[in-house]
């Protein structure tokens, strides 16, 4: 085997590692972008259905789902835009989802979220924003997931998970989410996006296909059937879950 052939074969391996940071940078410079490539980012808070929506859209065959690409608590992606550019150029039908804290937390060099989305928009990315109006349910879902260390399930569970809530801390978390919601609207103020409401569009499985159809129409794509393996994690009432329900109810009634 010649040295030249060996170098070329090793370089080819690097270039075909879809989630390789170095390979993505190489593809950013090596490959050309084109208008017919699909590049979509889903923006939301935690426990808002971003994984579910990405899974639904991926099931249509129009997209290759990539999850939370920038959720790198152990390793920082040095150049997020070049990284995403290289990956999306290689795929051609790319979708991932991101939270504000992916850009600001766990990074030596925080990324300005507003500039991040404005730059993506200029490069032809389509943006989907998911808003979950009921912040109490959202915060409760997050609390349960953190306690159980389970964020997604694919099979229904018959036994509710029960816990005591630190009501003082919980109220702070709800108020924090409301503040973050206002910041998210400001972050997207200069870009075009389509908004999805969790309660209306994602919470009930009966609305999934209608939601997907609306998004596909926005993206200029024909309707296709959409399915998902994910199930709703919490199917029980708050009273069934929260052991100190009376205290919880009193603490949240003014929110």
How confident is the model over 118-143, as a mean pLDDT?
A: 96
Q: How confident is the model at residue 65 (pLDDT cuts 50, 70, 90)?
A: very high
Q: What is the pLDDT of residue 150?
A: 78
In total, the chain counts a number of residues equal to 255
**Least confident window among 36-45, 69-78, 90-99, 193-202:** 69-78
Q: How many angstroms separate the Cα of 204 from the Cα of each of 140, 182, 201, 210, 238? A: 18, 25, 7, 11, 18
Tell me what pLDDT residue 207 has.
Answer: 97
- pLDDT, mean of residues 110-128: 97
- At residue 3, the pLDDT reads 65
Confidence category of residue 53, pLDDT binned at 50, 70, 90: very high
- Distance of CA 59 to CAs 202, 203, 207, Å? 15, 18, 16
74 confidence band (pLDDT: 50, 70, 90): low
Q: Where are the alpha helices (DSSP H) in the chain?
A: 3-15, 21-30, 50-59, 80-91, 100-104, 113-122, 135-148, 167-187, 208-218, 238-241, 245-252
Asked if residue 158 has pLDDT above 90, the reply is no
d(CA 49, CA 204): 11
Beta partners for 40? 95, 126
Dig out the tokens for 82 from the structure: 């070049």
Of 87-96, 134-143, 152-161, 172-181, the least confident: 152-161
pLDDT tens track for 223-249: 999 999 888 777 788 999 999 999 999
Over residues 194-202, mean pLDDT = 98
- Rounded-to-integer distance, Cα 183 and Cα 178, Å: 9
pLDDT range class, residue 6, cuts 50, 70, 90: low
Q: Tell me which of 188 and 18 has the higher pLDDT.
A: 188
Token pair belonging to 81? 């835009």
pLDDT at 13: 54
Average pLDDT score, the chain: 89
Distance separating alpha carbons of residues 64 and 94, to the nearest angstrom:
5
pLDDT at 245: 96
**b/e code 203-219 from CB counts within 10 Å (16+ = b):** beeeebeebbbebbeee
Q: Copy the structure tokens of residue 149.
A: 């260390």
Of 153 and 251, which is predicted with more confidence?
251
Question: Band of the pLDDT at 255, cuts 50, 70, 90?
Answer: confident
What mean pLDDT comes out for the span 76-87? 93
């Amino acid at each position: 085997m010649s040295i030249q052939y060996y170098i070329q074969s090793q370089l080819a391996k690097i270039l075909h590692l879809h989630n390789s940071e170095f390979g993505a940078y190489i593809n950013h410079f090596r490959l050309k972008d084109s208008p017919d490539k699909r590049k979509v980012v889903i923006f939301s808070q935690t426990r808002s259905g971003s994984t579910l929506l990405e899974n639904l859209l991926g099931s249509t065959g129009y997209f290759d789902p990539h999850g939370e690409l920038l959720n790198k608590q152990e390793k920082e992606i040095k150049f997020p835009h070049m990284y995403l550019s290289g990956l999306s150029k290689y795929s051609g039908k790319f979708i991932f989802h991101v939270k504000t804290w992916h850009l600001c937390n766990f990074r030596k060099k925080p990324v300005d979220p507003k500039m991040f989305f404005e730059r993506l928009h200029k490069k032809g990315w389509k943006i989907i924003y998911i808003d979950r109006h009921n912040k109490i349910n959202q915060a409760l879902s997050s609390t349960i997931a953190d306690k159980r260390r389970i964020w997604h399930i694919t099979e229904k569970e018959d036994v509710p998970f029960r816990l005591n809530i630190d009501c003082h801390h919980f109220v702070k978390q709800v108020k924090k989410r409301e503040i973050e919601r206002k910041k998210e609207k400001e972050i997207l103020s200069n870009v075009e996006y389509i908004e999805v409401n969790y309660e209306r569009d994602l919470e009930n499985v009966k609305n999934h296909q209608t939601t997907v159809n609306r998004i596909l129409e926005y993206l200029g794509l024909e309707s296709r059937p959409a399915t998902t393996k994910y199930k709703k994690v919490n199917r029980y009432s708050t009273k069934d879950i929260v052991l100190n329900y009376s205290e919880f109810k009193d603490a949240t009634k003014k929110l």
